[in-house]
Amino acid sequence: MLALPNVITILRILLVPVFAIAFVMPGDAARIFAFMIFAIAGASDWLDGFAARKLNAGSDFGRMLDPIADKVLVAVALMMLVAEGTFFTEVKSNGMLSLLKLVPAIIILSREILVSGLREFLAGTRVSMPVTAIAKFKTAVQMVAIGAMLLTPLAHRIVPGMPGATYEVIAFILLWVAAALTVYTGVIYFRNGMAHIDTNPRGLKP
């Protein structure tokens, strides 16, 4: 449990409440600090995997905890962003825009819950579901999209000359791309998982 990759993963989980507290604090400095904490936590996802490979310190505990840490970080960030109404705050009373903001977050969170349930079931049958390259890319896009959303209140300062609304649209598109990748990878996981599920355990004829 105390191998370096596992320690990094545990620290990522411990950073989640720090991020949440910084997020709700008023002021630009607090938002920048929240973004930095989120970025550090996101980067630690790559760092613990790198450390595990280089130190040959992979473990069952780490393989169990790493996806949990990722899901907790993403879930907390998405819930707080949705509750805050970051996108298009000047027209957030518009129901359609609010819906378009909420749907990708629901898609991402639902997929993570469903895949976690599938992993738990397959673990009982001693079948593993390794993380694919496209799933890693999906996670990277999620982190970039959420990071971009975190900075939307400061959009007018991030890219000189770019209107804040344009920056928000880009962040919004990134979130939908992440949601699309989430659905795609979820379908792959379930398709592979179904191959290990006995749909006719008694051998009955259809």
Mind listing the pLDDT tens digit for each residue in 97-156?
566 678 888 898 888 888 777 776 766 666 566 667 787 888 888 899 899 888 887 876
Compute the distance between CA of residue 77 and CA of residue 15 in angstroms, rounded to an integer: 12
Domains delineated in the chain:
4-194 (1.20.120.1760)
Compute the distance between CA of residue 64 and CA of residue 73 in angstroms, rounded to an integer: 15
pLDDT, tens only, 165-174: 777 788 888 9
